[in-house]
């Protein structure tokens, strides 16, 4: 049939490379990861809400240790508690590398407002984006309205990243076949029933304890560091070496990465988050999917516990349960030896991951865990990872523009 319609023959359609800006994935542990990194920045929680946040954060070490992550030298990365262990130390290093890259890349005097978000913290957000190119090495843009994808589950191309949330629950027009930059990086409302889901989308944000807000021009790197330390010193700066160190992940989050999502960040208590719609059943309503959060709510006797229990028992129109669907959306399920799906997917050879470190859309551990798993996966030839200081949920780049950097990266991969 494909030959009859003139389709190209004898060329693999496997994804050769994946460019990931701010990927939101690994939703099986995303709620716990969010509270582990950003939960300490929440304010105004009730006693029961605080108990939920704390329980999620405290469950994250077990989730990390079950993954069997390793660094580039093959050393096991583990969390002994929420703020100690080799994984914690590794994450500190990732944050410091991001800051030190910024210091190396930046010429002072430095104008935050003119930097397109780099170094600003708390500035406007745009949607992330993901691009792939197929195994024949040719660029292949999506057709109008087509979501860009990557190959993970069972050799099938899966939707890459997330569809961003739209104002008023409407889908955007998509010029020239490209996905637009959208606010918040969330899933949109899918009002198949014609209902107005605007109010649901508006409750995905909540108050935080704030963070450092920077504006204007900083004459020297020391001036910039002093501004970041305005609410309490958490960065030490060596002017001679032009490098910096941080005190803790909690101090970094309080200054630069404060929570903006409700409990749970991805499987929201009232099923009002975009990811709830993703795991819904085609009626425009959200459904719960986080079994660990469900167990925490049951232990606390929370009013939402029964709703979680009911949704976790559902199956879709094909008879597939939500935990199976969740695995299909989780790259680590296919990349790590400790997972049942290990080596059951056709994984791209080349990866480039860029993410804004200041975004509150997800925990930094999401992107780090993906990069670590890919680095240790046999068959993956290159993982180019960086988290960009000060940037939000955007097509984050240390230097240069996202389009030209992406094209140059594709050319370097196909030249090998």
pLDDT in tens, 327-349: 999 999 999 999 999 999 999 99
Q: Is the pLDDT of residue 265 over 70?
A: yes
pLDDT value, residue 127:
43
Q: What is the mean pLDDT of residues 298-310?
A: 98
Judge contact between 248 and 36, C-beta under 8 A. Answer: no
Q: What average pLDDT score do residues 286-306 get?
A: 97
Q: How many angstroms separate the CA atoms of 163 and 180, rounded?
A: 10
Q: Is a pLDDT exceeding 70 seen at residue 162?
A: no
Q: Tell me: pLDDT of 144 over 70.
A: no
Give the pLDDT confidence score for residue 132 in this predicted structure. 54
pLDDT above 90 for 294: yes
Q: Percent of the chain having pLDDT more than 90? A: 70
> What pLDDT score was predicted for residue 274?
93
pTM for this prediction: 0.79
Whether residue 379 is predicted with pLDDT greater than 70 in this model: the reply is yes
Element (H or E) spanning 246, and its range?
strand 243-246
Q: How far is residue 390's CA from residue 402's CA, in Å, rounded to a whole number?
A: 16
Q: What percent of the chain has pLDDT over 70?
A: 77
Pairing of β 157-159 and β 243-246: unpaired
Residue 104's Cβ-count burial label (10 Å; 0-12, 13-18, 19+) is exposed
Q: What gap in Å lies between CA 411 and CA 204, rounded to an integer? A: 39
**Average pLDDT of span 77-97:** 97
Lowest mean pLDDT among 119-123, 257-261, 287-291: 119-123
| 120 pLDDT more than 60 | no
Pick the CATH number of 15-414 from 1.10.3470, 3.40.50, 3.30.460, 3.10.450: 3.40.50
Q: What Rg do the C-alpha atoms of the chain give, in angstroms?
A: 21
Contacts with 8 (C-beta within 8 Å, 6 or more apart), sequence order = none
For residue 76, how many C-alpha atoms fall within 13 Å in the half-sphere facing its CB?
10
196-254 pLDDT, tens per residue?
433 333 223 344 557 888 989 999 999 999 999 999 999 999 999 999 999 999 999 99
Which pLDDT value is given to residue 272? 94
- The pLDDT of residue 12: 79
Q: Which ranges of 132-278 would DSSP assign to H, the alpha helix?
A: 198-202, 221-228, 249-256, 274-278
Average pLDDT (401-407) is 96
Q: Where are the domains of the chain?
A: 15-414
| pLDDT over 60 (residue 7) | yes
**pLDDT tier for residue 71 given thresholds of 50, 70 and 90:** very high
408 or 13, which is more confident: 408
Cα of first residue to Cα of last residue in the chain, in angstroms, is: 34
């Amino acid at each position: 049939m494909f030959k009859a319609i003139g389709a190209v023959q004898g060329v693999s359609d496997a994804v050769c490379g994946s460019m990931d800006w701010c990927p939101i994935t690994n939703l099986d542990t995303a709620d716990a990861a969010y509270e582990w990194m950003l939960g300490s920045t929440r304010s105004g929680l009730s006693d029961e809400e605080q108990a939920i946040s704390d329980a999620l954060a405290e469950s994250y070490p077990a989730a990390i240790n079950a993954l069997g992550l390793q660094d580039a030298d093959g050393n096991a990365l583990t969390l002994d508690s929420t703020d100690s262990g080799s994984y914690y130390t590794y994450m500190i290093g990732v944050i410091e590398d991001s800051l030190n890259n910024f210091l190396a890349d930046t010429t002072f005097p430095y104008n935050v407002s003119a930097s397109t978000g780099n170094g600003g913290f708390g500035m406007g957000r745009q949607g992330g984006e993901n691009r792939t190119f197929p195994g024949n090495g040719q660029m292949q843009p999506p057709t109008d309205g087509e979501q860009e994808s990557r190959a993970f589950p069972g050799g099938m191309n899966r939707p890459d990243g997330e569809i961003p949330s739209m104002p008023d629950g409407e889908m955007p027009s998509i010029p020239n076949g490209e996905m637009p930059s959208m606010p918040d990086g969330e899933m949109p409302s899918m009002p198949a029933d014609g209902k107005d889901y605007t109010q649901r989308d508006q409750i995905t944000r909540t108050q935080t304890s704030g963070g450092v807000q920077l504006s204007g021009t900083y004459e020297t790197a020391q001036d910039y560091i002093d501004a970041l330390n305005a609410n309490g010193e958490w960065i030490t700066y060596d002017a001679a070496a032009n490098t910096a160190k941080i005190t803790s992940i909690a101090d970094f989050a309080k200054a630069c990465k404060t929570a903006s999502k409700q409990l749970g960040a991805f499987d929201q208590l009232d099923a009002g988050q975009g990811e709830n719609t993703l795991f819904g059943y085609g009626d425009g309503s959200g459904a719960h999917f986080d079994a660990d959060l469900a167990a925490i709510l049951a232990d606390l006797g929370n009013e939402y516990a029964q709703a979680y229990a009911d949704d976790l028992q559902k199956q879709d129109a094909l008879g597939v349960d939500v935990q199976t669907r969740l695995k299909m959306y989780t790259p680590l399920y296919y990349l790590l030896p400790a997972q049942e799906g290990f080596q059951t997917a056709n994984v791209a050879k080349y990866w480039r991951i860029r993410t804004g470190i200041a975004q509150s859309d997800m925990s930094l551990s999401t992107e780090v865990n993906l990069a670590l798993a890919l680095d240790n996966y046999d068959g993956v030839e290159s993982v180019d990872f960086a988290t960009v200081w000060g940037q939000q949920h955007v097509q984050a780049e240390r230097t240069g523009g996202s389009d030209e950097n992406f094209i140059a990266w594709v050319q370097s991969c196909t030249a090998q």
